[in-house]
Amino acid sequence: MSLTDLTIAEARDLLRAGETTALALTEAHLEAVEGAGALNAFVHHTSEIAREQARAADERIRRGDQPDMCGIPIGVKDLFCTRGVASQAGSRILEGFRPEYESTITDKLFRSGAVMLGKLNMDEFAMGSSNETSTYGDVVNPWRAGNSDANLTPGGSSGGSAAAVSAHLCLGALGTDTGGSIRQPAAFTGITGIKPTYGRCSRWGVVAFASSLDQAGPMTRSVRDAAIFLKAMSGHDPKDSTSADLPVPDFEAMLTGDVRGQVIGIPKEYRMDGMPEEIDTLWQQGIDMLRDAGAEIRHISLPHTKYALPTYYVIAPAEASSNLARYDGVRFGHRAKLSQGDGITEMYEKTRAEGFGPEVQRRVMVGTYVLSAGFYDAYYNRARKVRTLIKKDFEDVFADGIDAILTPATPSSAFELGAMQDADPIQMYLNDVFTVTVNLAGLPGIAVPTGQDRRGLPMGLQLIGKPWEEGALMNVAQSLEERAGFVARPEKWW
């Protein structure tokens, strides 16, 4: 078995047994990354840092000190600030930016011995569902449909992370999720991705998109790996006042495989008009799998579901317009060349016009509009009230005894790059229709690969859990994973 085919759990155990080394694992993955330029997943290579970290990890393991992630090669989404390493959030406006500091999450991972292979491509400022808004160009999904050689989207915004994990370029990757940006690309590439409860992981040093929705999480090739990875990145951080001061459980130890008596809710509002039959069938299969595993299936209603996307497209742009005001050409990143007589306002306007791509500009301006005098109440405050109702929908079903909720992860499998080019922006936004509710309610959600469509493309289901119960959620997810037995992987063409 090749070293790039291991799971994190297997690699950890081999390292522990002295049967491989962090350096060997790292070299194998660096070689895989080197050969996968066609996917455009890795955009900043950090092979020197990786080798140095791998040697340090081996030294540590020799001393008998081996945290779970020690010596594990990972990829890091470009949204995370990494000291001395380009961190651009996929945007031209952060060209040349090399942070003087380390994000709390990458710091935690490095302290536990994880090895960074490089930075991963993403939609600009995490705004997109197809990884086509990146300043680095599109990421290509390692999967192809049937015998077609058309390039497919890996989904977005964590498209580079999804492609890299799916193509075995790293054992796991960091992603972030504001409306579905971990779960949708995970589903499109046949991997597992979890967005933890809002506040589980520190947002410090993660470039902000919509602060009340943003949450980082791991993308991996198994639920067990997600549990291992998530534990290493979770925990309170005094530098993020919204990070929760709660103990981090041993998520992996909670994977008992026993879901008997768990009550799984099936929300009727997630059955959408025009949803492909294959997605519907997959959902029914998922229901049957969990029932077979001993869970009780109960049909539920989350009545405000249809208002989630419009709510999101008020709140997320509003917060983005505020967060992205910092890109002014003064403190970091790109500054436009000025003409004779240009003042500071022209500097701001030209810098932001050159630095932000069209989708980011659109969202910043929509956010500016919904927050502007006269519209604040009608749009922004109303959206915040509807958000309260969306969260209450979930609280009600959990209070009625539901333990987790099963839904499709995406309304389709991966589509072709360029397919949405002429569609209106709303069509692209619909990709997040099943995932966005979870961010609005601050809940944990996980996408698990569950089947393939008739063209052989992976499809995933989503499980939604109670706040702070990622362990119980992943236990149900693992039961689904076991029964689905998804073992397919993309055939190497790159």
> For residues 93-152, which are near another protein according to CB under 8 A?
96-100
The one among 366, 406, 446, 464 contacting another protein by CB under 8 A:
366
**How is residue 71 written in tokens?**
């010596």
Residue 74 or 314 having the CB closest to another protein = 314
Q: Binders of another protein among 371-410, rule CB under 8 A? A: 372, 375, 378-379, 381-389, 391
Residues 6+ apart with CB under 8 A from 330: none
Cβ pair 219, 213 in contact under 8 A: no
The one among 149, 277, 424, 491 contacting another protein by CB under 8 A:
424
252: left (phi over 0), alpha (psi -120 to 50) or beta: alpha
For 39-80, the DSSP string reads GT-EEEE-HHHHHHHHHHHHHHHHTT---TTTT-EEEEETTB
Classify the C-alpha dihedral 111-114-118-119 as positive or negative: negative
Residue 150 or 325 having the CB closest to another protein = 325
Stretch that binds another protein, among 159-167, 287-295, 436-444, 476-484 (CB under 8 A): 436-444
Q: Binders of another protein among 341-360, rule CB under 8 A? A: 342-350, 352-353, 356
User: What's the closest the beta carbon of residue 387 comes to another protein, in angstroms?
Assistant: 5
Q: Binders of another protein among 10-29, rule CB under 8 A? A: none
User: 57-78 burial, b for 16+ CB within 10 Å, e for fewer?
Assistant: bbebbeeeebbbbbbbbbbbbb
Residues 6+ apart with CB under 8 A from 127: 133, 157, 209, 320, 359, 360, 363
Whether 157 is a known active-site residue: answer yes
Stretch that binds another protein, among 8-16, 104-112, 113-121, 337-345 (CB under 8 A): 337-345
User: What's the closest the beta carbon of residue 417 comes to another protein, in angstroms?
Assistant: 21
Distance from the first to the final alpha carbon of the chain: 20
Which residue is catalytic, options 134, 181, 321, 479? 181
The one among 73, 175, 442, 460 contacting another protein by CB under 8 A:
442
The one among 125, 136, 270, 313 contacting another protein by CB under 8 A:
313
User: How many residues line the site for another protein (CB under 8 A)?
Assistant: 75
Cβ pair 323, 211 in contact under 8 A: yes
In sequence order, the β-bridge partners of residue 218 are 174
The pattern of x and - marking residues 183 through 202 that bind another protein according to CB under 8 A reads --------------xxx---
272 binds another protein (CB under 8 A): no
User: What's the closest the beta carbon of residue 99 comes to another protein, in angstroms?
Assistant: 8
The one among 17, 331, 399, 422 contacting another protein by CB under 8 A:
331
421 binds another protein (CB under 8 A): no
Q: How far apart are CA 266 and CA 221, in angstroms?
A: 25
320 binds another protein (CB under 8 A): no
Closest CA to 367 of 422, 433, 312, 423: 312
436 binds another protein (CB under 8 A): no
Q: How far apart are CA 224 and CA 475, in angstroms?
A: 9
Q: Binders of another protein among 283-312, rule CB under 8 A? A: 304, 306-307, 309-311
Residue 154 or 355 having the CB closest to another protein = 355
Whether 181 is a known active-site residue: answer yes
SS3 of 181-236: the string is: CCHHHHHHHCCEEEECCCCCCCCCCECCCCCCCCEEEEEECCHHHHHHHHHHHCCC
Q: Binders of another protein among 67-96, rule CB under 8 A? A: 96
362 binds another protein (CB under 8 A): yes
Stretch that binds another protein, among 24-32, 238-246, 281-289, 446-454 (CB under 8 A): 238-246
**Active-site residue set:** 77, 157, 181
